[in-house]
Amino acid sequence: MAGIYIHIPFCRQACSYCNFHFSVSRRQQGVLVESLLKEIRMSCDFFDQQSPAGEAIPLNTIYVGGGTPSLLPVSDIIRIFEALSAHYAFDHNTEISLEANPDDLSREKLKALRQTPVNRLSIGVQSFHLPDLRYMNRLHTPQQAVGSLHEAMAAGFDNLTVDLIYGTPTLSDALWEENLMQLIGLGIPHISAYALTVEEKTPLHYLIRKGRAAPVEDEQTARQYRMMLPLMESRGYAHYEVSSFGLPGRFSRHNLAYWTGRPYLGIGPSAHSYKPGFRCWNIANTTAYIRDIGQGVLPRQSEMLTAAQSFDEYLMTSLRTMWGCDLDRVEALWGKTRREALEKEAARHIAGGLMERRADHLVLNSQGMLFADGIAADMFWVS
Ligand code: SF4
């Protein structure tokens, strides 16, 4: 089954750490929505290999992300789903997520969103403490964060996922625990907890370099990562991916599809798409995206994946999950020699205490997960 991602590249305010594709100018919002509708029509043959001609393609997940999709008027959100329904089959069993910021989630907005196919909200809380929110240049207040969760649940959204960020210099260990406990106490079924990373060319990178913001310390980040694991597990959340915790049956289907190599189509500027052996990505420039779509051209670059690239991608994504890398799958897709080479490479990490062999899977332990990307890169086919 396939998935669709739709990118809405607008935000009210630039968070200091953010390196996603977005703009705080919403001048192009109306024409961007028209372009998205057009791209949905133009790219409807993307999954053709899996669908007999003429039949709507069943979707497992739809994810509207950004940027800040909750900025869009609900009427535009409905138009996007109407455009999708001309080519794809989805219903209440499909996981349909929309990213939202607390400052957008008024009671009226939530009530209107309930009338759309959206059945899962991903709310960008990041912290319940004002100094953290200010450090990250988030727009909302702690009161709005708490209020939005209560209002979302009162509106009938029981499938919620909330993003938190740790490692912020303003976040003490005690406050980090408070943030987690706040969500646990509310019974939020899924939590994504991200380490604050300082990416180049972000305002945060600039501010730290100029000495105008406190630096992010690796030691604090690692400590707060370690702190949350037993806390979450003791409350029934499975740590099923480096940054993801879910109550039983509440794991993100959309993310699982990414990590298990299912095909997905990305719509909108900067959105990526994938199907076996092939990936493509739209231009990360909203003006150029709108121009190309207006001229009937998909603003995409693409590449056929080599066996080595596919293997590396599988290794990178699978090692981030609690299921790890399936050696039988490696052998079936890339051959016995590749499996043996991988087992040889893995022996070092197993001996180093970061990885375990569980039946025919290589799995990172909680300490190893902290270095998942580096360990995967160390075992790449292409190095
Ligand atoms: S709201 Fe999200 S996408 Fe927008 S600037 Fe903040 S982190 Fe980036």
E strands within the chain?
2-8, 57-66, 88-89, 95-100, 120-126, 160-166, 190-195, 238-241, 244-246, 264-267, 272-275, 278-282, 300-304, 325-326, 355-358, 361-364
pLDDT tens readout for residues 315-365: 999 999 999 999 999 999 999 999 999 999 999 999 999 999 999 999 999
* Closest by Cα among 143, 136, 190 to 166: 136
Decide whether any atom of ligand 1 lies within 6 Å of the 139 Cβ: no
Decide whether any atom of ligand 1 lies within 6 Å of the 271 Cβ: no
The answer to whether residues 129 and 166 touch, using CB atoms and an 8 Å cutoff, is no
Which band of pLDDT confidence, cut at 50, 70 and 90, is reported for residue 294?
Answer: very high
- Residue 276: count of CB within 10 angstroms of its CB: 12
The answer to whether residues 293 and 313 touch, using CB atoms and an 8 Å cutoff, is no
User: What stretch of H or E contains 209?
Assistant: helix 203-209
Q: What is the pLDDT of residue 52?
A: 53
Residue 50 has pLDDT above 80, yes or no: no
* Closest by Cα among 354, 124, 161 to 255: 161
- The amino acid present at 57, given as its one-letter code, is I
* Closest by Cα among 118, 125, 124, 104 to 158: 118
Answer yes or no: do 312 and 239 share one domain. Answer: no
Decide whether any atom of ligand 1 lies within 6 Å of the 196 Cβ: no
* Closest by Cα among 101, 143, 99 to 121: 99
* Closest by Cα among 133, 245, 254, 134 to 193: 245
- The amino acid present at 338, given as its one-letter code, is R
Answer yes or no: do 245 and 100 share one domain. Answer: yes
Distance CA 329, CA 103 (A): 44
Which ranges in 266-335 belong to alpha helices (H)? Answer: 286-294, 307-318, 327-334
Is residue 272, in this structure, part of any structural domain at all? no
pLDDT tens readout for residues 128-168: 999 999 999 999 999 999 999 999 999 999 999 999 999 99
Q: What is the pLDDT of residue 259?
A: 84
- The amino acid present at 234, given as its one-letter code, is S
Q: What is the pLDDT of residue 221?
A: 97
Domain that holds residue 344: 306-383
Which band of pLDDT confidence, cut at 50, 70 and 90, is reported for residue 5?
Answer: very high
pLDDT tens readout for residues 188-218: 999 999 999 999 999 999 999 999 999 999 9
Q: What is the pLDDT of residue 49?
A: 53
Answer yes or no: do 313 and 185 share one domain. Answer: no
Answer yes or no: do 243 and 315 share one domain. Answer: no
pLDDT tens readout for residues 11-41: 999 999 999 999 999 999 999 999 999 999 9
Decide whether any atom of ligand 1 lies within 6 Å of the 22 Cβ: yes
Answer yes or no: do 312 and 253 share one domain. Answer: no
Answer yes or no: do 146 and 238 share one domain. Answer: yes
Decide whether any atom of ligand 1 lies within 6 Å of the 165 Cβ: no
Answer yes or no: do 38 and 155 share one domain. Answer: yes
How many domains are contained in the chain?
Answer: 2
Task: Give the number of C-alpha atoms closer than 13 A to the C-alpha of residue 243, restricted to the C-beta side.
Answer: 19
Residue 51 has pLDDT above 70, yes or no: no
Answer yes or no: do 193 and 79 share one domain. Answer: yes
Answer yes or no: do 11 and 91 share one domain. Answer: yes
Take atom 3 of ligand 1 and give the residue whose Cα is closest: 67
Q: What is the pLDDT of residue 261?
A: 84
Please give the mean pLDDT across all residues of the chain.
95
Question: What is this structure's pTM?
Answer: 0.95
Distance from Cα 8 to the centre of ligand 1, integer Å:
11
